[in-house]
């Protein structure tokens, strides 16, 4: 079981036995354990496959954990084209910087679970009629609904 939590602006994804994926929501740095991921590349660490793509001078992160696909989007200033949409692929968990500009991004990625962050997070959830309480951590069940998207409101 994977756990997602937010402590002091660091969103962490961990299953307890493998590497921990961490997103610093202030600096927008992504790490896997203590390795800061700052270049486009592909590698495996502790049974987690990571692919990083550079597109329009931005980095996009795709992780495969226990056959599930996690995508982290740290910006909202890129043009949606087939090249980047095909990189995202079939998304199980989407961690996305939420702003007015990222609405179009979200609409084009059919994620099964969405974890928004940033200043507009509450507006995003309200707009989508997601009146859900904030939680400090969330344990992800790997059986996702095919018909709907689940939203997680992590406390900041």
Q: What is the pLDDT of residues 1-59, one digit of tens each?
A: 789 999 989 999 987 777 899 999 999 999 998 889 988 989 888 888 999 999 989 99
Which structure tokens are listed for 96? Answer: 């996305």
pLDDT, the chain, mean: 85
If one counts the domains in the chain, the total is: 1
The answer to the question of residue 54 being in a domain is yes
d(CA 42, CA 129): 37
Which structure tokens are listed for 79? Answer: 């043009």
The answer to the question of residue 156 being in a domain is no
d(CA 29, CA 62): 14
d(CA 22, CA 25): 9
**Whole-structure pTM value:** 0.89
Domain limits for position 52 = 2-151
Beta strands at 68-73 and 93-97: parallel, antiparallel or unpaired = parallel
Model pLDDT, residue 88? 92
Q: What is the CATH number of the domain that holds 83?
A: 3.60.15.10
- The predicted model gives 50-72 an average pLDDT of 92
Residue 129 predicted with pLDDT over 70? no
Sheet with 113-117, side-by-side order of all strands: 41-45, 48-55, 58-65, 68-73, 93-97, 113-117, 150-151
């Amino acid at each position: 079981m994977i756990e997602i939590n937010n402590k002091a602006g660091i969103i962490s994804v961990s299953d307890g036995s493998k590497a921990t994926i961490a997103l610093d929501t202030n600096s927008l740095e992504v790490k896997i354990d203590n390795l800061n991921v700052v270049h486009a590349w592909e590698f495996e660490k502790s049974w987690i496959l990571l692919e990083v793509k550079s597109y329009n001078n931005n980095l996009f992160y795709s992780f495969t954990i226990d056959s599930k696909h996690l995508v982290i989007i740290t910006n909202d200033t890129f043009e949606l084209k087939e090249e980047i949409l095909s990189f995202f692929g079939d998304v199980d968990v989407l961690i996305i910087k939420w702003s007015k500009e990222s609405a179009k991004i979200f609409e084009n990625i059919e994620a099964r679970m969405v974890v928004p962050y940033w200043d507009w997070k509450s507006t995003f959830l309200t707009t989508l009629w997601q009146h859900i309480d904030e939680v400090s951590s969330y344990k992800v069940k790997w059986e996702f609904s095919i018909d709907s998207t689940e939203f997680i409101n992590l406390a900041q």
